[in-house]
Amino acid sequence: MNANSISVHNLRKRFPGFLLDDISFQVPCGRIVGFIGENGAGKSTTIKLILNQLRRDGGSIEILGEDNTKYLQHGSIGVVFDECKFHDVLNAQDLGEIMSGIYNTWDQTLYTQYLKQFGIPPAQRIKELSKGMKMKLSIICAISHHPDILILDEATTGLDPVVRDEILDLFLDFIQDEKHSILFSTYITSDIQKIADYVVLIHNGKLIFEEQKDEMIYNYGIIRCKKADFNQINPDDYLISRETTLSMECLVRDREAVRKKYSNFIVDNASIEDIMLFYIKGDSK
């Protein structure tokens, strides 16, 4: 069994005014990787390259040990975008019949079970469903043909917290056998903080970091001090800084060590959103 479901190495794609530049990261088998960054950072471009919807200018993409172009000819990936792509006049029952003709691995029993679990009326047309119901239906269809990998591009955007929580639990169920994997692109960092094992941050087409989520949550921190005291902080002790109206803030990799060294300053925990915003809006040393 391959250690990684998806391996991206030195991926490049150029558009007028934008360059996806030398992107490398992995999606380990049995894990969820949160792919974060602001709108326009290159997340959707990377996903389209993985799905071979765009031709890469350089680098390599492997899915379960095969070049992605070869794997996609016979392998199974479930894909969910930020909007339901099914025709409005169809209903869930219609979709089940259509999908059974497309996928030889389609599991109608599982699909019916999910429809009941999430309260989706089989005979109600898609255009009459709420956005939350439409997204649930999209995800159920993506899972019910037993894909090896699930790729999600902003799949929880615009959903209320209750619906998002139900969907996140479904993602966690999907990887319980430790064979399936998820690449989850989103800017909703609270979702990533809840379910991801690894976090990949991309900004302006460049990879900023690829790290284990728990290590980030347990270790990263933020020093807060008065602007007049900022020169007391050794630049070697922080990663990046930013100026607020009243203070200076610095992102640190080892908050406990920093708390001991700078006991006169406030050192807070850092969320994934805090870390992302530092890299996107902070000032380089």
Phi and psi at residue 122, to the nearest 5°: -60, -30
Do 236 and 125 share a structural domain? no
- Taking alpha carbons only, the member of 273, 280, 281 closest to residue 34 is 273
- The SS3 call for residue 158 is coil
Do 60 and 103 share a structural domain? yes
DSSP E strands in the chain: the ranges are 4-15, 18-28, 32-36, 58-63, 66-67, 77-80, 149-153, 181-185, 198-203, 206-212, 221-226, 240-243, 247-252, 266-269
Pairing assessment for the beta strands 221-226 and 206-212 based on DSSP bridges: unpaired
Do 271 and 156 share a structural domain? no
Chain mean pLDDT for the chain: 93
Residue ending a domain, choose from 153, 186, 212: 212
Supply the pLDDT for residue 285: 65
Residue ending a domain, choose from 186, 212, 238: 212
Q: Which two tokens stand for residue 93?
A: 């029952």
- Answer whether 27's CB lies under 8 Å from 149's CB: yes
DSSP state of 3: S
Do 192 and 239 share a structural domain? no
pLDDT at 128 over 90: yes
Q: CATH number, domain at 67?
A: 3.40.50.300
Q: Which two tokens stand for residue 192?
A: 């990533």
Do 162 and 263 share a structural domain? no
Q: Which two tokens stand for residue 14?
A: 């150029």
Residue ending a domain, choose from 163, 191, 212: 212
CA 160 to CA 155: how far, in whole Å?
12
- The SS3 call for residue 217 is helix
pLDDT tens readout for residues 171-196:
999 998 888 999 999 888 999 999 99
CA 228 to CA 281: how far, in whole Å?
21
> Percent of the chain beyond pLDDT 90?
80
Do 164 and 239 share a structural domain? no
Report the number of distinct structural domains present in the chain: 2
Supply the pLDDT for residue 276: 94
Do 246 and 195 share a structural domain? no
Do 255 and 142 share a structural domain? no
Phi and psi at residue 277, to the nearest 5°: -65, -35
CA 122 to CA 92: how far, in whole Å?
5
Q: Which residues span the domain enclosing 8?
A: 4-212
Do 259 and 138 share a structural domain? no
- Taking alpha carbons only, the member of 111, 20, 7, 11 closest to residue 67 is 7
Do 199 and 96 share a structural domain? yes
Supply the pLDDT for residue 2: 65
pTM (2 d.p.): 0.92
Do 177 and 63 share a structural domain? yes
Which residues make Cβ contacts (< 8 Å) with residue 134, sequence separation at least 6? Answer: 83, 84, 86, 126
Do 189 and 247 share a structural domain? no
